[in-house]
Amino acid sequence: MPKPLAPASRDTSSDFKAYEDGKHRRYELLFAVNGGAFTVAKLFSEKDSLHFLGHLTLPQVAYGLAFFTFLMGVDIAVFGYNMRKKVGDQEKRLWDGVFSLWGRAVLFFICLLIIGGWYQVANGSYRPCT
């Protein structure tokens, strides 16, 4: 009698590559938008120019980008959780596998630092180096 076939194992290498590529694109967008906006804010943060970028004030831009950073953090977290399920790592310990506790902590602190920076810009406590 022939042996029964073993259940087909999932090809997690392609799933892991999709996770890494998607994570890279999302973090790249987060840093590119915030880095570019910090640069624009520094260039146009002269005391005599109260409005820039279509009559927006610097605090308005800062609060908008803090909100954008929050939304990108949520997007990256949802993506990470979904990929953790897709790869099959939800059964692993919290600090092992795709989007583990360490990845969540890094995402949280990166977003916290960026939002904190925008909060300082919005409240006028940001003083660019001369």
Q: What is the pLDDT of residues 104-125, one digit of tens each?
A: 999 999 999 999 999 998 887 7
Low-confidence stretches of the chain (pLDDT < 50) are 5-8, 48
pLDDT at 110: 96
What is the structure's pLDDT at 40?
79
SS3 percent helix, strand, coil of the chain, rounded to 5, is 65, 5, 30
What's the pLDDT score for residue 57?
82
pTM: 0.77
Distance CA(28)–CA(78), nearest Å, equals 16
